[in-house]
Amino acid sequence: MTKQYEFHNRGLPYLLVLPQMIIIFVFFFWPAFQALIQSLYIQDAFGLSLIFVGLENYQKLFQDPLYLDSILLSFKFAIAVAFTAMVIALFLAVQANKKIVGRTIYTTMLVWPYAVATLIAGVLWMFLFNPTVGIVSWVLKQMGYDWNFLVKADQAFFLVTLASSWKQISYNFVFFIAGLQNVPTSLIEAAAIDGGGPFTRFWRIVFPLLSPTTFYLLIMNLVYAFFETFPIIHQVTSGGPNQATNILVYKVYKDGVINLDLGTSAAESVVLMLIVVGLSVLQFRFLERKVEY
Amino acid sequence: MKKILMVTVAMATAVMAFSQTTIEFWHAMGGKNGEVTEKIVSLFNQSQNDYKVVPVFKGSYPDTMNAGIAAFRAGNAPAILQVYEVGTATMMAAKGAIKPVYQLMQEQNEPFDPKAYIPTITGYYSTTKGEMLSMPFNSSTAVMYYNKDAFKKAGLDPNSPPKTWPEFFTVARKLKAAGYDAGFTTNWISWIQLENFSAWHNLPFGTKANGFDGLDTELVFNGPVQVKHFENLYQASKEGVFKYGGRENKANSLFTSGAVPLHFESIGGYGAMKATCKFDFGVAMLPYYPEVKGAPQNSIIGGASLWVMNQKDQRAYKAVAKFFSFLSKPEIQAMWHQETGYLPITKAAYELTKSQGYYKDNPGPEIAIKELLNKDPTENTLGLRFGFMPQIRTIEDEQWESILDGKVTPKQGLDEMVRLGNIKLREFERISK
């Protein structure tokens, strides 16, 4: 028998969730609604002229090859960041989960980068790889490699992916290690008795049991790469060279804040919003069903 | 008794506060420049009792402009808003939001002589009829910096920097051969190697007097001289004689570290250069191609100006007018010029600085002024007035990076800049009508 609590006052629960609802309304629904409206207009920065254009801003976006490139690039970037950050974090978590000396220190150190502000992470990596004064660039130069991410598109993409992943590894690590600790030892022991080596044990037992964590992290990492990597892009490459690292969220910023082209920027943010809504729907549908194993 | 006294005091203060008009001045001057800005404002506040200017630092240029726009939309714009030069067209187009400075000075009967100002500076912020729309505040221009120690090391005369581009490339190659990482670098490909480059050679950057005569302007900076210059830059880059340091002012560290001995940068960076360079450096005018008729013409400015936002209270206009007059005083301008490195906006301030002997120890800033005053400005060299200018500059940076990477030829890159830029100009024309 579970004890049932009843609220005799019908209004109380609503009152209790009200503050949260107000916050969500003011900071999420209202701006989202505004963006939706603005995306149907073109207007000057001061809002002195306002012309209704229907879906023209969207039409313009999807006819612009540069924008289509940016969508493709954002997905490429998000997948690269999520993959890199998750694979490395999982590897480190598995190692840290073993009975080794100094495990707590090791774990603590690995969580540290998460406390670094994204912007600072950007500055850090920029200095390491700066073609003039960077220590890594210097080493690469000694090895005869022509490192200049200010001109070379692939190198710039590699660098922002690396910097963004580094920041996210800690976050993934925490979840993976918690997930690993939830894997029942009895299952692993049973598998060992049946003759499964460490490799088989990991792929047949541990990894499937981790899949809810992995899936959750996948979505979080994708969302992170789509949105929160902004300071890194801003600091390291400003979207360049040419458009090599000009991901969607950076475009919204440039068109809206720097260029004051509000209609275009609003349409861009609505597209971004749809992508994230899509990701969230995916997450809920799959997590509800608990990823199968 | 005590109560009565308190009430009286409170009333007296209220009356005082009432008689004094307070206006806000939103600016983007951080660090040293911010300190000098605050100093000037407090000198103004101390100089009289009727008006009080409150300076508010709002962050970067785009941040400040956005804050001003948001405040306008919410119905409480500051009286004075500092806007960077590339925001000029946006401000101008916002006729219902701003008060043109010439009109303000007239209405307030404030003595105001546009001729007292340096034409290349005020021209940027004026109509073609010479009506000043905003008050120039911090103005700079592009100059060449060179490492004198490196010149000595390479067996070159440190007192005769190259004057023309052919000379310049020869010198740069010699410096590279003397063991430097590269011969030269540059900041601001857009502002220095295209905008100033075009003005310096008296070439139009866009039609309709660089956009001064109308929103239906088109970019035309893909002419033969610019193409040739970009081909030379690309060639130098392939040889390793030119080294790209990044967008905006990111190339500075290449020069200040001593790695690359020739550099192009704003004169506004003069103070910072003096503080960071551990070697002797000189400032020289921008090089030119001698075969181009009329070159060198005059360079154009960068920086920001002060816009007057529409106010409900007429007394606020009076306060702004008084503050602008104060700001234009020779001694205030001379102080601003000497303490920040930005250029003085009046001829009198320039003469005053000269008579104070400032240029004996600091020849750099005077070279920048001489560059601006080199010849009377033509319609190609008064400045630029294009909408979505920040976006156009980004397009230029992007294409330039493609050129360097060898993905497109210099000619293709410049053509693409013009094509994409013109699309932006048409969009701006449409929203500004």
| Tens of pLDDT, residues B136-145 | 999 999 999 9
Instruction: Find the closest chain A residue to B397 by CA distance.
Output: A242
B188 and B216 in a single domain? The answer is: yes
Tell me: the pLDDT tens digits for B368-411?
A: 999 999 999 999 999 999 999 988 999 999 999 999 999 999 99
Using the beta-carbon criterion (under 8 Å), do B394 and A255 form an inter-chain contact? Answer: no
By the 8 A CB rule, do B88 and B125 touch?
yes
Distance, CA of B320 to CA of A245 (rounded, Å): 44
Per DSSP, helices labelled H in B48-83 are 61-73
DSSP classification of residue B116: G
Report pTM: 0.86
Q: Are residues B388 and B412 in the same domain?
A: yes
HEC string of A183-228? CCHHHHHHHHHCCCCHHHHHHHHHHHHHHHHHHHHHHHHHHHHHHH
Q: B302 pairs with which residues across the strands?
A: B140
A130 touches chain B (CB under 8 A): yes
Q: Report percent pLDDT > 70 for chain B.
A: 96
The CATH code of the domain that includes B58 is 3.40.190.10
Question: Does B274 share its domain with B362?
Answer: no
Among B346, B372, B398, which residue terminates a domain? B372
**At a CB cut-off of 8 Å and minimum separation 6, what does B76 contact?**
none
By the 8 A CB rule, do B65 and B83 touch? yes
B129 and B150 co-located in one domain: no
Regarding whether B36 and B183 lie in a shared domain, the answer is no
Pairwise CB contact (< 8 Å): B257 & A132: yes
Residues B404, A151: C-beta atoms closer than 8 Å: yes
- The 10s digit of each residue's pLDDT in A69-105 is 999 999 999 999 999 999 999 999 998 888 888 888 8
Domains in chain B, number? 2
Give the list of residues 6+ apart from residue A269 with CB closer than 8 angstroms, or none: A35, A39, A252, A256
Between positions 131 and 170 of A, the ones with CB within 8 A of B are: 131-133, 148, 150-153
Considering the domain architecture, whether residues B382 and B253 belong to the same structural domain is answered as yes
| Domain carrying residue B86 | 2-139+302-372
Q: How far is A242 from chain B (nearest CA, A)?
A: 4
Inter-chain residue contact A44 with B388, CB threshold 8 Å: no
A130–chain B nearest CA distance, Å: 9
Per-residue pLDDT at B353 = 95
Q: Which residues of A touch B90 (CB under 8 A)?
A: 44-45, 260
Assigned token pair, A207: 């990894």
Q: Please give the Cα distance from B144 to B169 (Å, whole number).
A: 13
3-state secondary structure of B263: strand
Residues B176 and B197 in one domain: yes
Q: Do A130 and B69 touch (CB under 8 A)?
A: no
Which residue in B107, B140, B108 sits closest to B121, CA to CA? B140
Of B324 and A199, the one with more pLDDT: B324
Tell whether B205 and B234 lie within a shared domain.
yes
Say whether both B96 and B217 belong to one domain.
Answer: no
To the nearest whole percent, how much of chain B has pLDDT over 90?
77
Q: How confident is the model at residue B3 (pLDDT cuts 50, 70, 90)?
A: low
* DSSP class of B268: G
For an interface test with A, give the residue of B255, B394, B429 to mutate (most A CBs within 10 A). Answer: B394
B431–A44 C-beta distance less than 8 A: yes
Task: Compute the CA torsion angle A247, A251, A252, A258 (nearest 10 deg).
Answer: 140
- Chain B residues with CB under 8 Å of a chain A CB are 62, 65-66, 69, 72-73, 90, 93-97, 181, 244-248, 250, 253-254, 257, 259, 388, 390-391, 394, 397-399, 401-402, 404-405, 407, 427, 430-433
Q: Does the pLDDT value for residue B16 go beyond 70?
A: no
Q: Report which secondary-structure segment, H or E, holds B282.
A: strand B281-284
Range B304-327 average pLDDT: 94
Q: How many helices and strands (H and E) does chain A possess?
A: 14, 2
Lowest mean pLDDT among A1-15, B9-23, B105-119: B9-23
Mark yes or no for CB contact A241/B388 under 8 Å: no
Shortest distance, CA A250 to any CA of chain B (angstroms)? 13
Q: What angle do CA B123, B125, B129 make, to 5 degrees?
A: 60
Which domains can be identified in chain A, with CATH numbers? 48-288 (1.10.3720.10)
Q: Give A231-274 pLDDT, tens digit per residue.
A: 999 988 889 898 899 999 999 999 998 888 899 999 999 999 99
Domain C-terminal end among B347, B372, B397: B372
Rounded to 10 deg, the angle between the B165-177 and B224-239 helix axes is 10
Residue B433 predicted with pLDDT over 90: no
Residue A7 has pLDDT above 70, yes or no: no
Distance CA A176, CA A186 (A): 19
What whole-number distance in Å separates Cα of residue A50 and Cα of residue A73?
32
Residue type at position B366? E
Shared domain for B265 and B383, answered yes or no, is: yes
**Residues B127, B230: one domain?**
no
Q: What's the complex ipTM?
A: 0.81
The predicted model gives B126-153 an average pLDDT of 93
Q: What's the whole-number mean pLDDT along residues B79-93?
A: 93
Nearest CA in chain B to A244: B398
Q: Are residues B170 and B199 in the same domain?
A: yes
* Residue B105 φ then ψ, to 5°: -65, -40
Task: Give B-chain residues touching A159 at CB under 8 angstroms.
Answer: none
Q: Which residues of B touch A52 (CB under 8 A)?
A: none
Range list of H helices, A118-152: 118-129, 135-142
Sequence-ordered alpha helix ranges (H) in B80-217: 88-93, 101-107, 119-123, 148-153, 165-177, 197-200, 207-210
First-to-last C-alpha distance (Å) of chain A: 31
Q: Burial of B113 by CB count in 10 Å (0-12 exposed, 13-18 middle, 19+ buried)?
A: exposed
Residue B232, pLDDT score: 97
**β-strand B51-57 against B21-27: which pairing, if any?**
parallel
Contact A258 B404 (CB under 8 A): no
What percent of chain A is predicted at pLDDT more than 70? 96
pLDDT in tens, B168-195: 999 999 999 999 999 999 999 999 999 9
Distance from the A148 Cα atom to the nearest Cα atom in chain B, whole angstroms? 9
Boundary of a domain, candidates B372, B392, B411: B372
Total CB pairs under 8 A between chain A and B: 89
The verdict on whether omega for the bond into residue B296 sits within 30 degrees of 0, i.e. cis, is yes
Per-residue pLDDT at B37: 95
Q: What is the DSSP string of B147-182?
A: EHHHHHHTT--TT----BHHHHHHHHHHHHHTT-S-
**pLDDT tens digit string along A18-64?**
999 999 999 999 999 999 999 999 988 888 888 899 999 999 999 99
Task: Convert the pLDDT of each residue in B263-312 to its tens digit.
Answer: 999 998 888 888 899 999 999 999 999 999 998 999 999 999 999 999 88
With CA atoms as reference, the chain A residue closest to B181 would be: A132
CA–CA gap between residue B79 and residue A168 (Å, rounded): 45
Contact B198, B204 (CB under 8 A): yes
Label residue A293 by pLDDT band (50, 70, 90): very low
Mean pLDDT of B316-327: 95
* A46, A133, A153 ranked by CB distance to B97: nearest: A46
Report the SS3 class of residue B141: strand
Please state, as a whole number, how many other Cβ atoms lie within 10 Å of the Cβ of residue A151: 24
